[in-house]
Amino acid sequence: MAKKLGKKARKFANKHLQGGAKRSRKLRSQFNRRTRKDGKGREDGGRLDGDGDEEMRRSDPTVNTHDDVATLANSLEFPEDENEFDGDLSDSDGYLSEDPECPYYSDSEDGNVLKDSIVQDGLDGQNNDMNLAVKKQKKKLKKLLDKDPEFANFLGKWESELVSHESDEDSDEQDEMDSGDDGVDAGDKNPPSDKILTSKTISEWCQLVSKDPKAPALRNLLNAFRDACRFGLHSSSLSTQRLQSTEVFYQIITFILSEADNIFRSLLDIPDDDKGKLMNLRNGQKWQDVEPLIKSYLRNCLDLLSQLTDNQILTNVLTRLRASAVYFSAYPSTSRRLLKILIHFWASGDQSLSLTSFLMIREVVSLLPDCLDLCLTKGYNTYLSSSKLVDNRNIKNIDLFMNCLVELYSLDVQKSGERAATSVGQLSAILRQVSKSKEKEDLLKIDNWQYINCINLWVRFICVNYKDCHNVHSLLSSVAQIIRGVAYLLPGMRYLPLRLKLAQMLNELLNCNQMFFPVPSLIFGCLEFREIFQKEQTEKTNIHFSSLLKVPRNLLKSRDFQEQCILSAIEVLSAHFAQWSYHVAFPEVATIPLILLKRLHEQTTIDSLHRPLKRLIDQVSENRDFVQRKREVVSFSPNDLSSVESFLEDEKMSGNASFTQYYESVSKNRQSRGRKFV
């Protein structure tokens, strides 16, 4: 269905809507969804106006920076199993036989229809013009017909020819597309109603249903919902003509979405999400009765999801639908379809939509563990393709996506652990290959966002699961090795942002496993004093390390770069110090970095750096003296491990030491700074 709509809409837009920016924004995600499949994203992208670009790029994996990366992506991605079977619900179109007794109010509100057709809309003007043109031409035709009555016969013949020809052409497509739609139960005595739905009718039905869920009006409502969901799919079909007013559309959709769950629950007598109970019910009479209704509801919801384009509505619909997730578990293959749609939203939507769809996915997957594999693969691949390009705007989305993915992977550590091992193996294989040749082209295989984000994903995964799953250790050491390897293969000032990122990852890793790693050695390069070649800069170049892997050459010697450099270095250093601030060897940990910091503090010519540097130096010295004082009075030796462990245990627990507080303020600063940038 989605296909059908997308194709049509696109064709249509290509033909007639060149200038309609507003329109195209509305239709955008339809296009995008489409382009994901046929890979013509750029074409449409060019036509979109500026603020569409970002989303566009994110959702369109075909925009490659270069082929190398693309091939890399393929090598990193998990193979996807594409064959899908969607048999559960599609055997019927979900039309429910109605009780003819239901109240129906014919159009007493024609005025309404007229009124709300004036909803401002770019197309309306065009439509009006066309309407006029049609009228004009018809008049002309009529004149001709009047003039020559024989022509009418001729025309009739031609028309019938045309129709038969068209039907020949379209028959294949039609068959395929409409097989579901036409499969109206043969035994159904009542053909689909083609009465126009009025607002009054709907409100009446709604009232009836809310009073008594078993009321026959429910069927009517669900049918109306079906029509609403498929509105616009087939302009010629009857269902479209049943809906004339926007008000009615709104009424149906909101009512069903908000009430359906409750209604079904009361029909089935299940108070909460209890899967077992639902499964038990499946053989009972009650289920038999209600099942078609649920089926219709779910199916139409899917249609609705694939039709809607607005992030907010989608978020809303998904939030409502989440309550009914349990019903999906009864239809595994439909769930798969749902998951695919959801994963798409997850990857391409804005923050709230992404999060909502993720929550829905999680819900469904936890009910249907069989689908987990699908989600893990798809989610991972989507993550990879969406993290190809990182800029200031999408960095938060990628972060969120990654966190969600980790969440998903943490559902079943056994299963996902294998995947993680495979992926880490691939990463390290690429690294080894690169280290062998060290060609410039090969270096691009690790010098890209995909690679780095992939590492980051597993770092996060390991951190989250380290406590529960101690065997993650082997994974951890290979990830640590990859991080070191990347830092080793990409040396130099230009890669400083990347290096800082790696250092952050290491800090994260080490914090969870309490191992020692000399993180500062990675960033000593930052702490060297460098001359600034600065032509009096009038405008401040904004350098955001978070969205950079390497610094553009022209900024290397700029003041801003240096400043950023050192500020980021301070963050990494303080994280490292914070980790060991209660250890008995802290004074020694701090010795060499402190020397460097002091020298930098003396030499630097950037005034804005003096204060943060001084503060760090003071804090570290203070903590050093503190530890030194404390350890002077202890009597154990360095080889007494347990005593070393318990050194300053109490202080650590309380977390009152000044350095801990300092670190907290630094990390808070960073977060706020990060927020400011995005």
d(CA 250, CA 244): 11
Residue 345 near residue 357, CB atoms below 8 Å: yes
* Residues 6 or more apart in contact with residue 624 via CB below 8 angstroms: 586, 587, 590, 594
CB nearer to another protein: give 162 or 279: 162
Beta strand segments in 542-617, E: none
Cβ atoms of residues 417 and 472 within 8 Å: yes
Q: Please, which residue, 425 or 552, has the CB nearer to another protein? A: 425
Taking the least distance from each CB to another protein, the nearer of 517 and 663 is 517
DSSP 624-646: HHHHHHHHHS----TT-HHHHHH
CB of 618 to another protein, least distance (A): 17
Q: How far is the CB of 660 from another protein (least distance, A)?
A: 18
* Cα–Cα dist 339/327, whole Å: 14
Q: Rg of the Cα trace of the chain? A: 32
Under 8 Å between Cβ of 448 and 497: no
CB 34, CB 11: distance < 8 Å: no
**Shortest distance (Å) from residue 428 CB to another protein:** 6
Q: Is residue 212 within a helix (H) or strand (E), and if so which, with residue range?
A: none
Q: Which is nearer to another protein, 92 or 478 (CB)?
A: 478
Give whichever of 150 and 539 is closer to another protein, judged by the CB atom: 150
Q: 32: burial class by Cβ within 10 Å (0-12, 13-18, 19+)?
A: buried
The smaller minimum CB distance to another protein, of residues 101 and 632, is found at 632
Q: Which is nearer to another protein, 23 or 277 (CB)?
A: 23
How far apart are CB 326 and another protein at their closest, in Å? 14
Sign for the CA dihedral angle at 552, 553, 554, 558 comes to positive
Q: How far is the CB of 46 from another protein (least distance, A)?
A: 22
Could you tell me the smallest distance in angstroms from the CB atom of residue 533 to another protein? 14
Instruction: Give Dmax (Cα) for the chain.
Output: 119
The least distance separating another protein from the CB of residue 100, rounded to whole angstroms, comes to 27
Backbone angles phi, psi at 86, to 5 degrees: -120, 70
CB of residue 141 vs another protein: minimum separation in angstroms? 5
Comparison of 596 and 606: residue with beta carbon closer to another protein: 596
Nearer to another protein, 556 or 634 (CB): 634
Q: Which residues contact 674 (CB under 8 A, 6 or more apart)?
A: 546
Phi-psi region of 514 (alpha: psi -120 to 50; beta: other; left: phi over 0): left
Nearer to another protein, 195 or 598 (CB): 598
Q: Please say whether the dihedral angle defined by the alpha carbons of residues 393, 395, 396 and 398, taken in this order, is positive or negative.
A: positive
Min. distance of Cβ 635 from another protein in angstroms? 5
Rounded to a whole number of angstroms, the minimum distance from the CB of residue 628 to another protein is 10
